[in-house]
Chain A
């Protein structure tokens, strides 16, 4: 089973490819909507701003293709800005609509040094069967889902914020699992094993 790794030219996907290689996961790069199929699971790393990411996705037809693939039930793993673009809108890029796959918005941290850089503790939602741990964040913005029950992990940076989402076929991490040591590695292993 080969994963589809979305590479829309937004930035360096090296850290994700190295991570997938460590996990012995097969993957192929997908750069346009035409290449994306509804078949294999999709890994969607995000780099850069909300608006810039969506602009690149639109240019390559990946926005529509992603939306369709996810709506048809294809498993999706979104990381960082990848999580944020799933929402409806973001304060980072006013007026730019997100993919709208998850109701809610993205807002900016208003306290403390921004972006948040470093390891923070994440707590799983009760009954999820996931363990608490520490993961590595580099983010100025965070998602606020309209329905809190989609939140898999919560964290706190002067405010309680959504660290991960899991709902249906969508799993999304605000942090960098590929930079979060053994704990991050295990989260990804778990996602892969569940496919």
Chain B
């Protein structure tokens, strides 16, 4: 049977992998290629690279990172962060990315998804959705601009539309849980996995193996993404997968 996928996420700023440190901004944690290979060695099923560069030069460096990663990495990887046009998507894919994720730009112009699906194939197109519980209850709303701007859009309705337009997978981040280590948002994830015809990658809140067990068993996520618990070295992908296997979750060991 198809395995659940464990996907470490790396933030890249001007060609270096970085980690957000409370009250201190960003800290350089190493060379993206080296880290990517280390995760591959640990058994990561895929990787996600998020370009968080603030400058144009920084963003240009990302293409070099993609090319260097693609040369040696033997597992699929997705690149995202500020991707706003079909041309950018094609460039990233040409440099070696297997998939590209779009977020804010797709909300602003949903036709971008159709373009990517038509030109590159749905399998290359991941829609990243940042979701936050609506204050007035009843569902979740979509945030854009790195979680800074609420849109009032219903997250499930938006993801459904995106899937219809050709998005091949949904990367669903719970803004309520992100960074809390309290576990993935199971209710949010379950609603998405039940309704959507495409795979859902859960993101936001992973604290330890129990988080993953629950998001796979109770919320039926197809894959789960995490950053902090892997970067901090608290858990290696290998150790996590051994735990999941013990709990009868189908993972690639």
Contact = CB atoms under 8 A, between A and B. Distances in A.
Given A14-B96, A113-B199, A180 B121 contact: no
Given A18-B96, A179-B76, A179-B98, A118 B123 contact: no
A48 interface: yes
A137 B1 CA distance: 12
Contacts of A182: 74
B13 to A, nearest CB: 25
Interface residues of A, number: 34
A119 B45 contact: yes
A15 B121 CA distance: 15
Contacts of A117: 123, 168-169, 199, 222
Contacts of B74: 19, 22, 178-182, 184-185
Contacts of A22: 71-72, 74
26 contacts: A11-B121, A15-B98, A18-B70, A48-B121, A112-B2, A113-B198, A113-B222, A115-B168, A117-B168, A118-B2, A118-B222, A119-B3, A119-B5, A119-B45, A120-B2, A121-B1, A134-B252, A136-B75, A137-B2, A156-B1, A157-B1, A157-B2, A179-B98, A180-B74, A180-B75, A181-B75
Contacts of B98: 15, 179
Q: Which 4 A-B pairs have the closest CB atoms?
A: A134-B252, A119-B252, A119-B3, A138-B123
A195 to B, nearest CB: 21
A96 interface: no
A116 interface: yes
B92 to A, nearest CB: 11
